[in-house]
Structure 1
Amino acid sequence: DTALQKPREVFRLPTDLTAYDNRLCASLHFSSSTWVALSDGTGRLYLIKSGKRGSSASEKWEIVFNEELESPFIIAHSVSFVKSDTHSVAVLLLRVEKDELDTKGSGFHITLEWVTIAEISKEGDHRYEIVKRRVLQGKSVPHYAAIEPSGDGLMIVSYKPFKFMQDEDDKLEENDNAKATDEKKEPLYYWQQTEDDVTITVPIPEDIAKDDVKVHFSPDNICVTLKDQPALMEGKLYSSVDHESCTWILREKESLEISLIKKNEGSRWPELILGDTRGEFIMDSSQGSEISESLMHLTSEVM
């Protein structure tokens, strides 16, 4: 059962690349079980609908979008998602570029371009177009860079920071983001995880007693209420839990500690409750080191 089967060609780049001097190796990322993001190494991005891979010998990969995006890049990550009934694919492109202004450092900077491609319907014509492009710049290749499953944010682990490079047209958005940051409230809850479980800490008022707390567990959902107030936390968990083994405890009347037992041991959750941004994830130093070490060989190849 473990023997490799004979290779089968599923896709061939439509362009002869031998004429390009300044090109990188082709790279691809499986955005989902049916979508693929592909770079030919010359600066052209392809979005491919593959169908359910491995389900048929006649599997066909179909190009639904391709566009030249200036300089060559490799694909660091991609994700397929549906929002407001519109299918989109977000792709993260990585470039190592010369920096003429950097005379004392390496002479290079790292660019991450976050591209969102969405299905557009116009007069019965369905096609995919780029709807948003955002660029970040830093001075070191990230150990880890990924787009959140919802397509709403980036997760970056890097020795040196990255910052958005914004055009004049984006200054209004930048001001709005700055205002939102200034008005940002304290997290509603904090959470951390191991390979086996997730621990949630919820700060609560001192006058809350144990009988005031109601925590309901189900295989895929959680609901937390205090007294007769609306639910404090409620929603679908990122992954299933062993709900009969989940527990909670009130610690010194200052915080509620909830323990969730993962059903799929060994998996890492990028978020706790789907779409809930009110919590803050706390990564301990050992987890950060594990991620960096597991991805170090990739960054070496990039440089």
Structure 2
Amino acid sequence: MAASNYSLKVNRDLLDPKFESYRLSLDAIPTYNVELDAAVEEVKLTDTQYTLEHMRAFGMYNYLHLDPWYEDSVLFVDCKGRVLSLTVTLDTALGKPREVYRFIADPSQGDSQLCASLSLTSATWAALSDGAGRLYLLRTGKRGNSSHMKWEPLFSEDMGEPFTILHSVSHVQDGVHTMEVLLLRVQKDLQETKGSGYFVSLEWISVANSAGQGQEKKYEVRKRRVLRGKSVPHYAAVEPKGTGLMVASEKPFVFTRVDGCPVEQVDSEPMEMEKTDHIYFWLQTAEDITLCVRMPEGVTKEEVQFKLTGDSISIGVRGFPAVLEGQLYASVDPEASAWIIKNQKSLEVTLQKRDEGPVWPELVMGDRRGEYVMSSEQAALLQDRLAYLTSEDLNGNPDVDKPPCNSQELEDCDGFPEDSFSLTHFSGELLKPTQVVNLGSHQYLFTVDVNPCDMPCLCLRHDVDALVWQPRPDQPSNMWEHIATFNALGYVQASKRDKKFATCAPNFSYASLCECLRRTFIYRQPSPVETVLFNRKQGRQIGQVAKQQVASLDSDKPILGFRATNERLYILTSSHIFVLKVNNN
């Protein structure tokens, strides 16, 4: 069974087409800090870890971990192997971080040692990696400020090569407690002769307890599944019940091994999104769109199944799956649209744009199976507009100090994301992708935990905005739900050349970006203004204003961790934790 091509359905009620800009606010942000008695365990990349994937996986690692089950509680690991927890209840009386667990580092790893990583599995469990290849599953008890319980290791095992933990979940079925842990490695392929010679490995491990009566329950590995790809995923998470996996990456992943045995790869079932033959052609004017869809020869009007709403379209033949189905790029007028059968083998549809003028970059959101046909007038106009950018000479006016760019000198990070950038849902039973979203130009921005009982949300750039998507694995027809929008954040963050981390509050009251050193930018959602303001150009009253604030830390050390709660921002350096009081609710 081939994976179905899926498109993200934007909730237009959450978009604000009239949003103008963020207004800089000079209001001071109260900032507090705690000095650490030992440095954070920061691992520097070695000479052998030189690729872009090493930098993405380990060089940009967020060393600060937010506890989604307990508000305003953060954790990190220091150079002594201590897991430290800080819970803030009163900003002006910050206490020292409290030790909850300590492990002994393995010095034999040498240059292959990675940063220690932590994942809060549930309200009472956590997964920990020591950076040397050992995985710990810890019973934490109820965490938070009132709890001073030391964490208890109930599982500890060497998993081979060093790894970092991307995600973990805990679930109980038929009285058996199981923890699903997702591990990331960047490994050397000795048989690879092209490129960097490295590949990315995701290992999905299931650890469960034995259910014997009258015996002490012991946790052991029940299943190990390995996926392989060529790029570090921007997003990877296990479903709450451990039945599937979601991965967003620039290059595809495939299952290669299960419990040490290779998985057979079936090449006869390519994913629909990889087909190159166009099944429809379309062209547009300022007022309407003409669509031509290939249909089985001899199809009759009675056999055609056509459904059109203001925002979506579905075209098919009775008794077969829809040929074209999905959300339109923009709204149309169904009453003014029509379709006819041409030459008994194609369906021609005329769609009337509801808003005249704007050019559609695509017809159906995320669908790459169509070809856009440009009229001769449009092509001539486009050529005239772009003529000043071209020259018949390869290098008509060379600059001695700035020689022309050689494409062979470009690094991986200089290229534009490929069309294969996709969000994929894998079935844990079939070990195959079931639904694929072609993200294309939708740049990944950040991941955030909104509800700890659900999968983490991912934030993507759509045009100039940043849209937050909540995975819904229990809803196959609407597996990714648009739940929040940060106006113009996609455009704003692109100008921050020194940006290192990005995040938002779980209640979406603000989004924030931080640079490698000192500066943090806060972008608040529009809120009512107390005074009367008017737009001078448009002559209309402004009822809401979105504010931008900038905070600068009193520190010259690189920022290693960055997390947000509804009220506070937490920033970690090697020697301090800074707490910024963003909201006073």
How many positions carry a matched residue from both structures? 213
TM-score, L = length of structure 1: 0.59
Query: CA RMSD, aligned part only?
Result: 4.0
* One-letter amino acid matched to 1:162: F
Structure 2 CA distance for aligned equivalents of residues 6 and 150 of structure 1: 36
Counterpart amino acid of residue 236 in structure 2? A
CA contact (8 A) 2:225 2:255 kept: yes
CA contact (8 A) 1:191 1:279 kept: no
In structure 1, what is the equivalent of residue 106 of structure 2?
A: 17
Percent identity at matched positions?
43
> What's the counterpart of residue 199 of structure 2?
109
Q: How far 1:283 moved relative to its partner?
A: 7.2
Whole-Å separation in 2 of the counterparts to 1:169 and 1:58: 41
Residue 161 (structure 1) aligned to one of 252, 273, 278: 252
Task: Determine the structure 1 residue equivalent to 2:116.
Answer: 26
Question: Does the aligned pair in 1 maintain the 2:472–2:481 contact within 8 Å?
Answer: no
Once the two structures are overlaid, the 10-residue window that deviates more, 52-61 or 31-40, is 52-61
- Give the aligned residue type for 2:253: F
Aligned position for 1:269: 470
Matched, 1:127 2:221: no
Q: C-alpha displacement at 1:57, in angstroms?
A: 4.3
Match of 1:72 in 2: 162
3-state SS, counterpart of residue 70 of structure 1? coil
* Residue segments in structure 2 that go unaligned for 5+ positions in a row: 1-89, 272-319, 328-449, 452-466, 502-559, 561-585
Partner residue of 2:479? Answer: 281
* Cα shift readout 1:127-167 (whole Å, capped 9, x = no counterpart): 11111100000000011111111111111000000000036
Counterpart of 1:255 in structure 2 is none
Counterpart amino acid of residue 141 in structure 2: G
Instruction: Write the distance in 1 (CA, Å) between the matches of 2:138 and 2:500.
Output: 27
Deviation of residue 169 (structure 1)? 7.8
What are the residue-to-residue correspondences of 1:180-219 with 2, within 5 Å? Answer: none
Q: Where does residue 136 of structure 2 map in the other structure?
A: 46
Partner of 2:146: 56
Q: Can you give the 5+ residue segments of structure 1 that lack an aligned partner in the other structure?
A: 193-237, 240-265
Tell me if the contact between 2:180 and 2:206 (Cα under 8 Å) persists in the aligned partners.
Answer: yes
CA shift, 1:191, in A, is 11
Whole-Å separation in 1 of the counterparts to 2:258 and 2:126 = 29
**Contact map agreement 1:191 1:281 (CA 8 A) in 2:** no
Letter of the 1:269 partner, please give it. Answer: Q
User: TM-score, normalising length from structure 2?
Assistant: 0.32
Summarize deviations over 1:248-273 as a string: whole Å, max 9, x none: xxxxxxxxxxxxxxxxxx9753216x
Residue 142 in structure 1 maps to residue 263 in structure 2? no
Letter in 2 for 1:67: E
Contact 2:178 2:209 in 1 (8 A): yes
Pairwise CA distance, 1:80 = 1.1
Decide whether the 8 Å contact of 2:223 with 2:259 is kept in 1.
no
Preserved contact between residue 225 and residue 258 of structure 2 (Cα < 8 Å) = no
- For residues 129 and 31 of structure 1, do their structure 2 counterparts lie closer, same or farther at Cα, with a shift above 3 Å needed? same
Q: 1:74 to 1:168 in 2, by over 3 A?
A: closer
Q: Does structure 1 conserve the Cα–Cα contact (< 8 Å) formed by 2:189 and 2:199?
A: yes
How far apart are the structure 1 equivalents of 2:260 and 2:95?
Answer: 52
Q: Which amino acid aligns with 2:99?
A: E
Deviations 1:190-239 (A, max 9, x none): 999xxxxxxxxxxxxxxxxxxxxxxxxxxxxxxxxxxxxxxxxxxxxx98
Q: Distance in 2 between matches of 1:268 and 1:56?
A: 34
Counterpart for residue 557 of structure 2: none
Q: 1:156 is matched by which residue type in structure 2? A: V
Give the greater-gyration-radius structure (CA). 2
Q: Which amino acid is 2:175 matched to?
A: D
Aligned counterparts of 1:125 and 1:156: Cα–Cα separation in 2: 36
Mapped partners of 2:159, 2:191: distance in 1: 23
Structure with more relative contact order (C-alpha pairs < 8 Å, separation 6 or more)? 2
Change (3 A) 1:175 1:159: closer
Aligned residues of 1:191 and 1:282 also touching (Cα < 8 A):
no
Structure 2 distance, partners of 1:34, 1:186, is: 46
